[in-house]
Amino acid sequence: MKYGILGDVHANLSALRAVLDRFKTHRVDRILSVGDVVGYGAAPSECIAILRELGARVVKGNHDAACVNEMDLAYFNAYARTAVTWTRTQLSREDCTWLARLPLTLDLEDCSVAHGTYHRPERFDYVQGESDAEASLDRLPTPVCFVGHSHVPIALVRLEDDPLRTARAEGSDFDLAEVHRALINVGSVGQPRDDDPRAAYGIFDVEEQRVVIERVRYDIEVEARRIRAAGLPPVLADRLYHGV
Ligand code: ZN
């Protein structure tokens, strides 16, 4: 079984397509998403349609929740707020129903999925270091949970021979054979913020017990133009070139 894991697409159609092409090359069996399908980018309905069509299992992100009026916009910065307000005008009733019905977490046979933390998903807290991961790792019913939200890839693990100590795993290729529990942020498809503008995603090979975070280039110019043409804040287009 091979999972393709993607998230924080943020309505970036070209980046989503580039990642899905990579999933085809990898012959993934199932697609999982850590949420935030919409918000920031200018192709929300298109991205929803593609993920629905592919039968992806998706959890709800804070932008997804905000776009269907489930979250107070006071939590968002001005650009995000403008994007949410614009996105609401673009979504069909069917899109809204789909977003509203997304679960906050998923527990599958081989892994779990959440947007922020696993233990308190409705708070949409960020996982940026060991201490942010502890409570989620304590509660995980599966060996590995994939998350998003910060748009920065990170892996926090507890090893079998030292299951009470949480440590950050370096690199982008993770061997889960010796791992007791892991929380892995697969990075962002549509708006990376780790100074690398390429779209990020993860491949989880269950037989090999291995997770690899990869990057793929996409046509940023097309998406930047789409954002500007929609009248969204130009900074949302500009930041794509820098991965910030
Ligand atoms: Zn996001």
| Mean of the per-residue pLDDT values of the chain | 97
Residue 63 CA to ligand 1 centre (angstroms): 7
Length of the chain: 244
Residue 48 CA to ligand 1 centre (angstroms): 15
- Which of 23-32, 71-80, 146-155 is least confident? 71-80
Residue 160 CA to ligand 1 centre (angstroms): 31
Residue 162 CA to ligand 1 centre (angstroms): 32
Residue 116 CA to ligand 1 centre (angstroms): 9
Residue 158 CA to ligand 1 centre (angstroms): 26
Residue 94 CA to ligand 1 centre (angstroms): 22
pLDDT the model gives residue 75: 85
Count of CB atoms within 10 A of residue 127's CB? 25
Task: Please tell me the distance from the alpha carbon of residue 143 to that of residue 163, in angstroms, as a whole number.
Answer: 12
pLDDT digits (tens, 9 = 90+) for 110-150: 999 999 999 999 999 999 999 999 999 999 999 999 999 99
Task: Please tell me the distance from the alpha carbon of residue 178 to that of residue 185, in angstroms, as a whole number.
Answer: 19
Residue 61 CA to ligand 1 centre (angstroms): 7
What's the sign of the alpha-carbon dihedral 170, 174, 177, 181? positive
What's the sign of the alpha-carbon dihedral 76, 139, 56, 5? positive
Residue 36 CA to ligand 1 centre (angstroms): 5
pLDDT the model gives residue 202: 98
Question: Please, what is the end-to-end C-alpha distance for the chain in angstroms?
Answer: 33
Residue 143 CA to ligand 1 centre (angstroms): 24
pLDDT digits (tens, 9 = 90+) for 160-210: 999 999 999 999 999 999 999 999 999 999 999 999 999 999 999 999 999
211 beta partners:
174, 204
Sheet holding 179-185, edge to edge: 105-107, 112-114, 144-147, 179-185, 154-159, 162-168
Determine the topology of domain 2-241 in CATH.
Purple Acid Phosphatase; chain A, domain 2 (3.60.21)
For the record, the structure tokens of 180 come out as 């007791």
Q: Where are the domains of the chain?
A: 2-241
Residue 110 CA to ligand 1 centre (angstroms): 24
Task: Please state whether beta strands 179-185 and 30-33 pair in parallel, antiparallel, or not at all (unpaired).
Answer: unpaired
With a pLDDT cut of 90, the percent of the chain lying above it is 99
Residue 8 CA to ligand 1 centre (angstroms): 5
Residues in the 5 Å CB sphere of ion ligand 1: 8, 36
3-state DSSP call for residue 117? Answer: coil
